[in-house]
Amino acid sequence: MKKVNCLYRVSTKKQVDIQKDDIPMQKTACHEFAERQGWTITNEFSEKGVSGFKTSASNRDAIQDLKQAAKNGEFDILLVFMFDRIGRIDDETPFVVEWFTKHGIEVWSVKEGEQRFDSHVDKLTNYIRFWQASGESEKTSMRIKERMQQLVSEGNYTGGVTPFGYQLVKKGRLNKKGVECCDLAIHEEEAEYVREMFEKTIRDGYGSHRLASYMNSQGIKTHNGAKFQSNTVIRILRNRLYTGHYTSGSLVSPKIGELAVISDEIFLQAQKILDQRATKNEEKREISRNTTGKTLLSGNVYCKSCGSRIVSTTYSDKYTKKDGTISETKMHRYLCYHKSRKLNNCDGQGSYIAEKIDAAVIQTVHEMFDRIREQPEAVVLERKMQSQAQGLKTAKKKLQLELEKNTRQLEKLQLEIADSLTGDSVYSAEDLSLAIKTVKSKITANEQKLSEVETELETQSQSLAMVGTMYNSFLGWANEFDSATAEQKKMIVGQIIKRVELEKDYKIHIEFNMDYEQFCHEWTE
């Protein structure tokens, strides 16, 4: 009696709940088919939330387990409900099916019978089947994406978990079946906490863990009834919906005023802080990860001699009074960590009294604020930023041309698939598959670089739009700096100053962030 392994698959993660009965249906059909054929099912593999169109066989555990079982001679037949359960990638899946047959495994479908490779016609039929399946996946994906984008562009709610700060209400909007849909509306009590989270991030330098603890201390729960976690806070701070814009991929809806909890400017300031604190930017980080320390500088202060980051520490200054009592004062200092631990050959000063360094930095900040008050003009800066944007546009065009070239090469290789299957191509099936994979990797790299340039262009565009707002922020900081808390001063300095280098004899070198330095430079010319 022939031994059978079965493979069941539900297409994508978004469809798992919708198609929750799909796998049992596939399983029942396969069992009934095997029983009619007199076969014994010895093992079953199920994949939930795996796209046969987007996920390569090499990244699917079930396919790899089946291949290993085939090598071990554990079964004779691979049975699926339909062949597209094996995959829908037209330039890969036909070769996967052929691999099983070459290893002595019969490949059967409940709906389509056995897939054979006895002739060139069989090979072409196999390729055409998966080419059609791939086309159907593309069409389905396009229809869903277009509909979602249409809804977003019209400013409509597309479903999902209701974000914290909002509630679902019925406003009379009907779906295509005539059923009234739910839309979002601001939940004012929760929205006030959202505003507070953004405020504490920007003004007080709260990190995601500290904000989560704060929310939990207030007894606030998420919409799932759970406590706030760090990732919960990050999702809130990263969600552009709070500015009144629905998003779907790169598509952003027109501003919906009634959904705006915070301004676009506040959102962008928070994004800059989050980006700075991200682990991947550790070497470029200029803003402190937290503001609980007593020193003014943190995260952006370095040793001029060896270039390593300087840390702040506390020590006790003790001395004996005339009456014999011991007086102890806690002092703060900046310390070259690498020199103190003898991790390099730093010949610079090992430590600095923090009070002296902080006072000098504050004096410089005051001087900068004074210059900003004297010459409030932003026209020159705006012109310079537009020039930088032009350079990014040139880079974008170059990447687009390279992407088009690689895409054309991929199309040529894909046209070789049919000839390769019939033995009429200069490429073997293995060489063609490798060539296609290589070109696809280049295309992926092109798309990633292009996305990065587009993101930078978008950031430039947002910066241009924020020139006036930036100037107002400078004035706000200038007016409130002296009366600000220690945490707020640390955040203001962290956003204005890019790098501080300390040298022997308390020589201080300060490098401002580009935006602020441009303001000061252009205004004082």
Roughly what angle, to the nearest 10 degrees, separates helices 379-415 and 514-524? 140
CA–CA dist 362, 188 (Å, integer): 39
Q: Quick one: fold of 3-151?
A: Rossmann fold (3.40.50)
CA–CA dist 435, 402 (Å, integer): 17
Quickly count: other Cβ atoms within 10 Å of residue 292's Cβ.
14
Quickly count: other Cβ atoms within 10 Å of residue 200's Cβ.
18
Which H or E run includes 501?
strand 497-503
Q: Are 480 and 387 in contact (CB under 8 A)?
A: no
Which H or E run includes 42?
strand 40-47
Nearest Cα neighbor of 149 from 184, 258, 141 is 141
> Residue ranges of the domains in the chain?
3-151, 166-284, 355-525
pLDDT score at 16? 34
pLDDT score at 14? 39
What letter represents residue 496's amino acid?
I
Helix (H), strand (E) counts: the chain: 17, 15
pLDDT score at 463? 57
The CA–CA distances, whole Å, from 149 to 142, 153, 510 equal 10, 6, 47
CATH entry, 166-284, from 3.90.1750.20, 2.20.25.10, 1.10.357.10, 3.40.50.720: 3.90.1750.20
Q: Name beta bridge partners: 185.
A: 167
CA–CA dist 219, 230 (Å, integer): 16
pLDDT score at 522? 47
Structure-block tokens of residue 208: 């995601």
Quickly count: other Cβ atoms within 10 Å of residue 237's Cβ.
19
Residue 178 Rama label (left phi>0; alpha psi -120 to 50; beta):
left
Q: Are 37 and 113 in contact (CB under 8 A)?
A: no
Q: Please report, in angstroms and rounded to a whole number, the separation of the first and last CA atoms in the chain.
A: 91
pLDDT score at 334? 93
Roughly what angle, to the nearest 10 degrees, separates helices 467-480 and 354-374? 130
pLDDT score at 385? 62
With a cut of 70, list the residues of the chain below it in pLDDT: 11-21, 51-54, 90-91, 118, 120-122, 124-159, 175-177, 249-250, 279-292, 373-388, 421, 459-473, 514-525
- The Cα angle at residue 71 between residues 69 and 74, in degrees rounded to 5: 45
- The Cα angle at residue 200 between residues 263 and 486, in degrees rounded to 5: 130
Q: What is the 3-state secondary structure (H, E, C) of 440-454?
A: HHHHHHHHHHHHHHH
How many residues belong to the chain? Answer: 525
pLDDT score at 180? 79
Strands 77-80 and 106-109, bridge-based pairing: parallel
Which parts of 294-416 are beta strand (E)?
Answer: 301-303, 310-320, 326-336, 351-353
Helices of type H across 108-174 = 120-153
